[in-house]
């Protein structure tokens, strides 16, 4: 009897200690995330017997994870046959014996078209500032439509042939880097109460590097309670969307996107940088049969579209920051009327929005002698997308504004 009582006491004591150790973790917050868009329509849209492996930077410590898988753009059910989480020792290599197999049904995690599935909480100790690897295996033919292309110093993926979900050092001859993030849309972490997320919403400018540089700038300045969640898809517009397969990868218009993109666990702030595609896409049916000039918005229409974003964000209790549009002089559809529309939109952001919530990206990147152009070294070469150095400057500028509001 004494032994049984002693055993019961030890069990209760162990439980109390474990509870005490984890008592600092009280809430769920998104630690990583991306928009779910669509892969450019191609004949070869199926894959089988592949593993997708994504190194994920964690801004927080925590004791549990939840993975969100999204088949929003799929027209067929997909099945994920195996999922693992492991500690990372390099971009694609895992620490030996660190793999945790995620509990999913024996027949696989089946996700119907248009559906999103979240795993049960997964016990996994995560360290702030470290990377983990999320790997999942697609055994059978899978329609690879739901995905988004992103870029940045914290954003790289890999795929490999066969089941590599528990392989610490994948064969480099059977693996390849990819900028496409398929199906995995968000990761939540069970973490400390003061941690929260900032959503970066936009188009290709935001799907590229500056949100990663904002995350790194926060870390450099020892601000460790914020995650940066990127919700951006190339080609997207505030007011229009395409109904043709030629441009379906440009995704949804704002009113159809924003309810999905603001659904981020533990989000407190929202940074919006969007609108340039509304201005540069319309060229006339004589030039492109999918891009009528009627799609060109008025300044008032653009403003109304942005005001809709702000209203929807405030309904969710989000603080909204607006980023100005960037220089476009020299872009292939550049014209004076587009420059005028862009400048009018930027002036509305600068002078009609609370100045504390304006991130003037254009001012940081514009040439000193001709504000229509990128500063020397800040143009990627297409006169629309910034260079790597310019993206770093954008991240620094966003940090200054965010930090001044803390």
Mean pLDDT of 58-81: 97
Q: Is the pLDDT of residue 8 over 60?
A: no
Same domain, 180 and 207: no
Pairing between strand 62-70 and 116-118? Answer: antiparallel
CATH of the domain at 306: 3.40.50.1110
Mean pLDDT of the chain: 93
> Of 165, 186, 207, which residue is a domain's last?
186
The predicted pLDDT at position 182 comes to 97
Same domain, 81 and 120: yes
The predicted pLDDT at position 22 comes to 59
Domain annotation covers residue 5: no
pLDDT digits (tens, 9 = 90+) for 25-52: 999 999 999 999 998 877 778 999 999 9
Block residue for tokens 């070869």: 44
Mean pLDDT of 377-383: 97
If you count DSSP H runs as helices and E runs as strands, how many of each does the chain have, helices first?
9, 23
Tell me how long the chain is.
406
Q: Which domain holds residue 181?
A: 36-186
Domain annotation covers residue 27: no
Mean pLDDT of 380-385: 98
Same domain, 158 and 202: no
Q: Is the pLDDT of residue 350 over 50?
A: yes
Domain annotation covers residue 296: yes
In 120-233 the beta strands, taken as DSSP E runs, fall at: 122-126, 131-138, 142-143, 146-149, 157-161, 175-178, 180-182, 184-192, 196-202, 226-232
Same domain, 138 and 223: no
Same domain, 100 and 174: yes
In 133-173, where does DSSP find H-type helix?
A: none
What tokens were used for 395? 């991240």
Same domain, 285 and 150: no
> Of 170, 186, 202, which residue is a domain's last?
186
The predicted pLDDT at position 375 comes to 98
> Of 140, 155, 186, which residue is a domain's last?
186
Same domain, 254 and 141: no
| Close Cβ partners of 150 (under 8 Å, ≥ 6 residues apart) | 34, 179, 181, 207, 208, 230, 232
pLDDT digits (tens, 9 = 90+) for 166-220: 999 999 999 999 999 999 999 999 999 999 999 999 999 999 999 999 999 999 9
Domain annotation covers residue 1: no
SS3 content of the chain, % helix, strand, coil (to 5): 30, 30, 40
What tokens were used for 122? 């997964």
Domain annotation covers residue 13: no
When divided into structural domains, the chain yields a total of 2
Same domain, 179 and 280: no
Same domain, 271 and 343: yes
Q: Out of 55-59, 91-95, 291-295, 375-379, pick the least confident.
A: 91-95
Domain annotation covers residue 103: yes
Domain annotation covers residue 260: yes
Q: Is the pLDDT of residue 118 over 90?
A: yes
Domain annotation covers residue 252: yes
Same domain, 82 and 162: yes
DSSP track, 350-398: HHHS-GGGEE-HHHHHB-SS-TTSBPTT-B-SSSSSBPHHHHHHHHHHH
Same domain, 288 and 310: yes
Same domain, 179 and 244: no
């Amino acid at each position: 009897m004494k032994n049984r009582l002693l055993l019961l006491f030890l069990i209760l004591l162990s439980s109390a200690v474990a509870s005490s150790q984890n008592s600092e973790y009280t809430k769920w917050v998104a630690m990583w995330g991306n928009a779910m868009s669509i892969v450019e329509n191609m004949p070869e849209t199926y894959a089988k017997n592949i593993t997708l492996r994504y190194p994920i930077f964690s801004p927080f410590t925590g004791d549990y994870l939840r993975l969100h898988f999204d088949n929003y753009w799929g027209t067929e059910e997909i099945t994920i046959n195996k999922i693992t989480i492991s500690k990372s020792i390099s971009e694609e290599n895992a620490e030996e014996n660190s793999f945790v197999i995620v509990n999913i049904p024996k027949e696989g995690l089946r996700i119907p078209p248009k559906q999103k599935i979240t795993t049960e909480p997964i016990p996994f100790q995560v360290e702030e500032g470290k990377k983990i690897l999320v790997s999942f295996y697609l055994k059978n033919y899978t329609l690879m439509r739901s995905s988004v292309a992103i870029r940045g110093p914290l954003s790289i993926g890999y795929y490999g042939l066969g089941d590599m979900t528990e392989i610490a050092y994948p064969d480099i001859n059977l693996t390849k880097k990819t900028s496409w993030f398929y199906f995995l849309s968000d990761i939540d972490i069970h973490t400390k109460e003061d941690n929260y997320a900032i959503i970066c919403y936009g188009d290709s400018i935001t799907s590229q590097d500056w949100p990663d540089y904002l995350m790194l700038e926060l870390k450099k300045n020892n601000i460790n309670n914020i995650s940066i969640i990127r919700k951006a898809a190339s080609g997207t517009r505030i007011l229009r969307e395409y109904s043709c397969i030629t441009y379906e990868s440009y995704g949804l218009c704002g009113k159809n996107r924003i309810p999905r993109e603001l659904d981020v666990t533990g989000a407190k702030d929202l940074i919006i940088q969007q609108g340039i595609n509304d201005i540069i896409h319309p060229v006339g049916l004589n030039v492109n049969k999918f891009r009528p000039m009627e799609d060109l918005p008025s300044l008032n229409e653009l403003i109304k579209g942005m005001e809709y974003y702000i209203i929807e964000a405030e309904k969710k209790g989000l603080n909204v920051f607006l980023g100005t549009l960037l220089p476009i002089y020299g872009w292939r559809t550049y014209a004076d009327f587009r420059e005028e529309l862009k400048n009018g939109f930027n002036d509305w952001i600068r002078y009609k929005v609370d100045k504390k919530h304006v991130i003037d990206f254009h001012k940081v990147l514009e040439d000193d002698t001709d504000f229509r152009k990128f500063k020397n070294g800040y143009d990627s070469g297409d006169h629309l997308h910034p260079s790597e150095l310019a993206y770093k400057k954008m991240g620094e500028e966003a940090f200054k504004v965010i930090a001044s509001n803390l």
